Amino acid sequence: MGFFRRCPILLAAALTGAFAPQAADHVVTPVEGPADAAIQKALEQARPGDRVVLRAGEYRLEGAVRFPRAGEEGRPITLCAAGGEYVALLGSVRLAGWEEHKGKVWKVKHPAKPVKGLYEDAERLTHPRPDWSRREDPPVSELRAPGTWTQDGEWVYCWTREGDTPDNHRIEASQGHVVVVDKPFVRVEGLHLFFGQHLVCEIAADHSEVVRCEIAHCSNSVDNSYNAYFSGCSNSAFRECLIHDSFYWGDHGSNSHVLSCIDCGDRGPNFVDRCEIFNGGLGVGTKGAAREMVVMNSLIYDVVHGVVFGGGRSSGPGAGKADRGHYVVWRNRFVGCGDGGWIYSGDNRNTRIWNNLFEGCGTGVAMRNYLGEPKKVEIANNIFSRCGVAVEVTGGRDGKPTLGRFVDAGLVSHGNLYWQNGVAWRNPLTWGTNLDMTPAELPEKFPPLGKGDLAADPKLDEGGRPAEGSPALGAGAEIDLPSYLPKPETWDIGPGGGTGDGGGLALSIAGSPGSVGPGEEVKLRAVLANGSGGKEVDLGGERDCILTFHFRYRGGHLDKQELFRVRVQLPGRKLMPGEKLDLATLPGWRNPVNGKLGDDFHLRTDTKAWAAGCRLSATARLVGRGEETARALQRLEDLVRSKEVLKVALR
């Protein structure tokens, strides 16, 4: 997975100012209380070419960071972290001074604004919704398990995951936006932007970019929630960002976007480039009226829809604009998504889905004919591996094939590779019957489709790219690329040839159970590995590893999760390139038991949505042996994330 964050830079952005003289650095250090004034003062002093450099620490905000003036081409105004330092900007208030309420439930006075998302040690707490028809705060009596919260007009109530006082933890209540890039030629780099309400980071100006940032933990009660957002801009980008955890309460995905866009791209493309996007409803979503969105070289996983291709808007920003679409989705890896790509509207035009890997998705690419058939869709040089359905085209259910109508509207598909999918192509006929086709049958029934397709093992490396000897290498169709994409040396199928894993620590949970029943021990697995392309990693002396296993529900409760933590003692030695360390064999390892409701660990099956099962992932952090676990968990820092998200059935 990590390859998609380490691959070479493909686009040279003039706004980086790589060869322009730097006018000045305006340095800001953390302050007690709100940091808005200190940051805004430095930004007001900054001129084109200047940097506002934030030193290590946390900066709590009462309002979004905004930019008083624009930079210039080649001389952007930059807001960045000092080199190698961890800097976090927080759009939340920390709740402290909790009182006992009843049983294991605690309460604290309400902050100034209603709470629309609550986090314990940077992990989302579950907001119960006992009545799914009423999107509101439930009574405190509905807090019946650890890791839950609610509120009324006076109090916020919480049952922590440990069952102890919330004052032993970092409890963050999201309150507002974090960064709004509202002037052209601005660059935001190397920051951790957390705990936003409605949105975390918005680009609303041309020729600006957010680079190498972590953008996470967005909530908005029952309204739209976006971690990253393009609004009204063109020629801007999110590059090399880690973007995750965006939900509104109980949402299945339509209003929970990890990254989204609205009314943008009229003056040139916007880019999502080399990002890692996960844990939300929509990976790259849209609120409509978007044009020329370019999603490239990114890893998108554990979302309902990987990329949603929208059309026009009937009201609000961009209403009435025609000729929407013109997306390019190029060389991405989609893993475990409900749909990798979803074209939902007939007023989407000229969408191009090229050279991607769709792996283990419910459907690789899905499209429908709402408001007519989408116009001029091209699906070329993609690998569809182990998906339920590779491509599904729905054009009504009157019992007759409708795929031909999409072909008449300009649908082209060629040069794709299919491997171990349930179905290659599906055209639903009625609600109970489908026209299913193999790669060989597709061109026989619909001759314009399927030219140059393969049905073969793609032989992928661990990074999801064709390895040496793969039939995908050199077998792709030549594509007429837009001018902003460089022409590859060879035309492959899929994201192109592998280049190794690049080294560094990686976490694997392969071998953890695929199903769990009541009262059973959950025999988890975790292996820490040092990539073969890297350097030795010194585990140090007297260090431990805290592992957090996330069991996120797969049904209608996508914003809800159960956690299990274990702390193991690391050996005092170096981990050599290519070496693996089985954490389950180390002192301190233990497995959870799936208990009853109200126990410390319980996987719920009491509703149909809970019973749909979980998505299991994990994170690891290395800490000093003498540091208390509770204190270590409150520290914001970079984590090692598991390279898998495993499906767990609940019996």
pLDDT in tens, 394-408: 998 999 999 999 999
In this structure, is residue 377 part of a structural domain? no
In this structure, is residue 52 part of a structural domain? no
Does residue 610 contact residue 503 with C-beta atoms inside 8 Å?
no
For residue 319, what is the DSSP state? B
Question: What number is the average pLDDT over the span 184-192?
Answer: 98
Tell me the C-alpha distance between 71 and 94, whole Å: 34
Q: Which residues contact 547 (CB under 8 A, 6 or more apart)?
A: 526, 565, 566, 567, 568, 583, 618, 619, 620
| DSSP run (H or E) holding 433 | none
Q: Which of 47, 45, 42, 76 is nearest to 59 (CA)?
A: 42
Per-residue model confidence (pLDDT) at position 124: 94
Q: How many domains does the chain have?
A: 2
Last residue of a domain, one of 143, 173, 203: 173
Read off the pLDDT of residues 447-481 as tens digits, 9 standing for 90 and up: 989 999 999 999 999 889 999 999 999 999 999 99
Res. 500: pLDDT tops 90 = no
In this structure, is residue 595 part of a structural domain? yes
Per-residue model confidence (pLDDT) at position 651: 94
Per-residue model confidence (pLDDT) at position 334: 97
Range of the domain at 123: 94-173
Read off the pLDDT of residues 527-574 as tens digits, 9 standing for 90 and up: 999 986 678 999 988 999 999 999 999 887 788 899 999 999 999 999
Per-residue model confidence (pLDDT) at position 275: 97
Q: How far is CA 645 from CA 216, 297, 562, 581, in A?
A: 18, 20, 15, 20
Res. 222: pLDDT tops 90 = no
For 23, counting Cβ atoms within 10 Å of its Cβ (0-12 exposed, 13-18 middle, 19+ buried), the class is: middle
Res. 18: pLDDT tops 70 = no
Rounded-to-10 torsion of CA 492, 494, 498, 504: 160
In this structure, is residue 103 part of a structural domain? yes
Res. 17: pLDDT tops 60 = no
The C-alpha R_g of the chain, in whole angstroms, comes to 24
Per-residue model confidence (pLDDT) at position 5: 36
Res. 625: pLDDT tops 60 = yes
CATH number of 582's domain: 2.60.40
In this structure, is residue 56 part of a structural domain? no
Q: How far is CA 324 from CA 310, 395, 636, in A?
A: 8, 20, 40
Last residue of a domain, one of 155, 173, 191: 173
In this structure, is residue 154 part of a structural domain? yes
Last residue of a domain, one of 149, 173, 197: 173
Res. 264: pLDDT tops 80 = yes
Res. 251: pLDDT tops 70 = no
Per-residue model confidence (pLDDT) at position 253: 62
Does residue 260 contact residue 238 with C-beta atoms inside 8 Å?
no
What pTM was computed for the model?
Answer: 0.95
Read off the pLDDT of residues 115-145 as tens digits, 9 standing for 90 and up: 999 999 999 999 887 666 667 889 999 999 9
Res. 270: pLDDT tops 50 = yes
Q: Which of 485, 8, 495 is nearest to 269 (CA)?
A: 485
Per-residue model confidence (pLDDT) at position 22: 53
Tell me the C-alpha distance between 421 and 504, whole Å: 32
